[in-house]
Amino acid sequence: MSTNRFRIGIVGARGHVGAELIRLLAGHPGFELAFVSSRALDGERVADHNPAYSGELRYTSPGYDQLPELGADAVVLALPNGKAARCVEAFDRAGSDALLIDLSADYRFDPAWYYGLPELTRGRYAGQRRISNPGCYATAMQLAIAPMLGLLDGPVQCFGVSGYSGAGTTPSDRNDPGKLRDNLMPYALAGHVHEREVGSQLGHAIEFMPHVAPHFRGITMTVNMHLAEPLRADEVVDRYRGRYAGEPLVRIVEDAPWVSAIAGRHHVEIGGFTLSEDGRRLVVVATEDNLLKGAATQALQNLNLAFGYPELTAITP
């Protein structure tokens, strides 16, 4: 285990995920905040917005070319899709060896970046200094599907429902509590970026239908899989328990998990295993907190992996 202390910067720290990252990093024995950037909060004390942090650091709004000069050992890019490239280019121009973790979708299809879903990909990590954090929906889908790869017949259908924090802080219909009240809002019903992300990572066709619900945080993912050969329920559960044995952040449960029970938790729950009468159709339900295992917790897992700390340091399962 590393005994050094490392300085972590966050770009885009005003958002929901940035706030969770600040909270998690504040409790880490080996990490300290180098800077947190936010144009909207520039000059304000971080501690005034995030009670988990007790230092004197203030939000700043540096230019892209200034970022490599701020002395961070690692920088987490918590920016909307399409915004990360200019930051990455600034570090590349400066010849910086800082570790970069991108939370957007911008580099998830780039083979030069390590795709950091540790429960499925940690064996591919070989010290890469560029890490792409998986999407929140994509994390739930992959963990729910992976144990059945090789036994599937045809595309997998995934019906996802997220709390409105997944839509970010920029005002829109999908994060407007008034418009979401007593409502379920479908969007991007074909070709969603997470559909392509999961298909690319698992090498299997995915059909994903996302929705937003009135709750703030948490994802429910109902996954429908057709099987090439019939299976019994105990065979299915054994596959999942075997695949995730020794993975504290993946819990296999008997009943279909509830999203209300996962809010604020670091792990994914997978359960509700249901087979059709002929044993050739399997339905599985996965839940996760989209801001934690779907984003900030996973980023911290990747930081721990990169800097030689036990993967769950500062993460309480």
Q: Which residues are catalytic?
A: 136
CA-nearest of 5, 67, 65 to 35 is: 67
User: Distance (Å, rounded) from C-alpha 175 to C-alpha 218?
Assistant: 14
CB 12 within 8 A of CB 170: no
User: Distance (Å, rounded) from C-alpha 258 to C-alpha 120?
Assistant: 24
User: Distance (Å, rounded) from C-alpha 6 to C-alpha 77?
Assistant: 17
Residues 6+ apart with CB under 8 A from 305: 116, 118, 122, 125, 311
- Which residue type does 292 have? L
CA-nearest of 71, 83, 88 to 12 is: 83
What secondary structure letter does DSSP report for 313? T
Neighbours of 186 (CB within 10 A): 11
CB 251 within 8 A of CB 203: no
CA-nearest of 135, 143, 108 to 267 is: 143
Residues 6+ apart with CB under 8 A from 66: none
User: Distance (Å, rounded) from C-alpha 306 to C-alpha 287?
Assistant: 27
User: Distance (Å, rounded) from C-alpha 5 to C-alpha 60?
Assistant: 22
